[in-house]
């Protein structure tokens, strides 16, 4: 059975009214836009609702849209393990000047690392995240290198060389 995205968006909107869930027309993969603050609740609904059961967390990432007002799209991909057996993309739009949304790591454990990567590369702050340390860049790195506003020729602070064998995990700040 094929996934009816418009009907699914209506089910999400009925279950989580504040989400303002709506289908994204013309997307190559079934895509639904939801409010950023409701993302964890929407993901929990999709995971737990009988007949939907989008239990498999696939990935999360972000897109820096260079617009006059600046916006970042945070994208979660989940997969249904029942009848549909298809992927679903959920998007939320954030203000690039203050990219902030609640964490979904409590809903899907896999979101923990993905959200850390999004914070590290794009600067999106996930409120309530259990471990918001950098995951790809070193702790002293300044800025978020996948933001379009990041100066690509920027010099970073020099840091002392670390011995990866004697001290593979430096102490937290």
Residues 50-85 as b/e (b if ≥16 CB within 10 A, e otherwise) read eebbbeebeebebebeeeeebbbbbbbbbebeeebe
Domain-by-domain residue ranges, the chain? Answer: 5-127
- The pLDDT profile of the chain, 173 residues, written as one tens digit per residue, is 678 999 999 999 999 999 999 999 999 999 999 999 999 999 999 999 998 999 999 999 999 987 777 899 999 999 998 876 789 999 999 999 999 999 999 999 999 999 999 999 999 999 999 999 999 998 888 999 999 888 878 887 777 777 778 777 666 55
What is the rounded distance in angstroms from the CA atom of residue 34 to the CA atom of residue 48?
18
**Per-residue DSSP letter, 37:** G
Q: At what angle are helices 39-48 and 5-15 packed, to 10 degrees?
A: 110
Integer Rg of the chain from CA: 18
pTM (2 decimals)? 0.89
CATH 3.30.460.80 for domain 5-127, yes or no, is yes
């Amino acid at each position: 059975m094929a996934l009816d995205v418009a009907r699914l968006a209506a089910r999400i909107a009925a279950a989580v009214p504040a989400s303002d869930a709506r289908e994204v027309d013309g997307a190559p993969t079934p895509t639904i836009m939801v409010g950023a603050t409701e993302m964890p609740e929407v993901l929990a609904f999709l995971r737990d609702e009988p007949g939907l059961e989008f239990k498999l967390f696939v990935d999360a990432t972000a897109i820096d849209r260079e617009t006059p007002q600046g916006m970042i799209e945070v994208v979660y991909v989940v997969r249904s393990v029942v009848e549909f057996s298809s992927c679903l993309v959920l998007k939320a739009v954030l203000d690039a000047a203050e990219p902030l949304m609640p964490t979904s790591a409590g809903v899907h454990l896999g979101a923990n690392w993905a959200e850390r990567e999004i914070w590290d590369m794009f600067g999106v702050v996930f409120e309530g995240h259990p471990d918001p340390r950098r995951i790809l860049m070193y702790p002293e790195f300044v800025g978020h290198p996948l933001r379009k506003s990041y100066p690509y020729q920027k010099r970073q602070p020099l840091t002392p060389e670390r011995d990866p064998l004697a001290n593979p995990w430096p102490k937290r700040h």
